[in-house]
Structure 1
Amino acid sequence: MIIDDHEIVRRGIAEIVDRADGLSVVAEAGSVAEAVRRAELVRPDVLLVDLQLPDGTGIDIIATLREKVPDARPVVLTSFDDDDALASALNAGAKAYLLKTVRGAEIADVIKAVAAGRTLLDERTVTRRRADHEDPTADLTPSERKVLELIGDGMSNREIGDRLGVAEKTVKNHITALLSKMGLQRRTQVAAWVAGQRAAGWRS
């Protein structure tokens, strides 16, 4: 479902989505009220949400539909390259945050990934998250925190295993778990997150 108050933008995105294999647009909306009403009727798998709407924000939609249509996974597509908007969207439950400068093929790829249950944050997004926002490492075990630090030090899985005295497979299991808990997709995002946090004075 595409939610944007500019009809031309909606039509352009709809064309991209409908051309992609396995995707189809089930509804469109240009306001918060219209989006909530239509989403309850069609119950989409993914919501592609603009942040600025005439009667509210995309955050309002995400928060409302989190209760009314909990299986719908929100993706923010916006022109706001802003830390506060990013934090608000992620805290509300957005599974990805894209700028409108993104290529059409990337929109389709992100929609498919989010529909499959993944949360996508690129390196720019990860490194820009601020320390005063929710700590994505809060649920990590002590072992996962050690692995996080060593990834940040540039170590390979084998080197981490040697350092911690565990099998490489165990290290891979820890990485899979911490990626899931932190809402990340790739090992490189972990390294980027640690680098950004260390630059800001963070220590686990």
Structure 2
Amino acid sequence: MTVATIRVMIVDDHPIVRDGLRGMFAGTTGIEVVAEAADGSRAVDLALALEPDVILMDLRMPRLDGVAAIRRLADLGSRSRVVVLTTYDTEAEVLPAIEAGATGYLLKDVATDDLLRAVEAAARGEAVLAPAVTNRLMGRLREPEPALTERELEVLGLVAQGTTNRDIAAALFLSEATVKTHLLHIYAKLGVTDRASAVAVGFQRGLLR
């Protein structure tokens, strides 16, 4: 029985990453790279035109980021399976990608054999997750999310409006040092490391309207 070749598209804004992945697949029986893209917008266009079986998608790219591209493909009815391949494994990156419709989430330090098996599994419609991502998701299911205090919610709401630490301090009659402390507590509770990610997770959890 003839086994169908898995058609793969590589999406990453770094040429060296695309070259490395293409070279790896070149020596692999049963997998063919049919397209490459350096940004999410181009990836969407190529995916709709070529209908690859599996798309290896980076997250942080120009024009259209990975999560937005995954969401757009889902909205347009694409049948391609998207596997995120990135260096980021925080909750702020993982959850939006999975919720947008990604079939898998792998880190760029994945071993070659594991990546090949993941592509094959994704082509069959199976979910593929890096162990670190699985542990993070399982930990989130086991542990209740720490609640933000009323003051932290106020700070987060002002951050979402683009307010600077100085202006937040003035608005809430606090020192800038206290605002920074509140932000650190917010980051820790939301599992993020920066303002933009805090706002994104805040909206996802319904903390912001």
Judge conservation of contact 1:66–1:72 (CA < 8 Å) in 2: no
Q: TM-score normalised to the size of structure 1?
A: 0.62
Identify which of 6, 17, 26 aligns with 1:18.
26
Q: Which whole-Å CA distance do the structure 1 matches of 2:77 and 2:18 have between them?
A: 21
User: Which 5+ residue runs of structure 2 have no aligned equivalent?
Assistant: 1-8, 146-209
Identity of aligned residues (%): 36
What is the aligned partner in structure 2 of residue 9 from structure 1? 17
Q: Which whole-Å CA distance do the structure 1 matches of 2:144 and 2:77 have between them?
A: 39
Return the offset for 1:126: 2.7
Q: Which whole-Å CA distance do the structure 1 matches of 2:18 and 2:77 have between them?
A: 21
- Pairing 1:99–2:107 present: yes
- Pairing 1:90–2:98 present: yes
Instruction: Give the letter aligned to residue 120 of structure 2.
Output: K
Q: Which whole-Å CA distance do the structure 2 matches of 1:106 and 1:96 have between them?
A: 13
What is the aligned partner in structure 2 of residue 108 from structure 1? 116
Instruction: Give the letter aligned to residue 119 of structure 1.
Output: A
Return the offset for 1:201: 5.1
User: Which 5+ residue runs of structure 1 have no aligned equivalent?
Assistant: 130-192
Q: Which whole-Å CA distance do the structure 1 matches of 2:66 and 2:13 have between them?
A: 11
Query: Between Structure 1 and Structure 2, how many residues are aligned?
Result: 137
Match of 1:52, SS state, is: coil
Q: TM-score normalised to the size of structure 2?
A: 0.61
- Higher-Rg structure is 2
What is the aligned partner in structure 2 of residue 66 from structure 1? 74
TM-align CA RMSD: 1.9
Deviates more, 1:114-123 or 1:40-49: 114-123
Instruction: Give the letter aligned to residue 42 of structure 2.
Output: E
Q: Which whole-Å CA distance do the structure 1 matches of 2:39 and 2:131 have between them?
A: 31
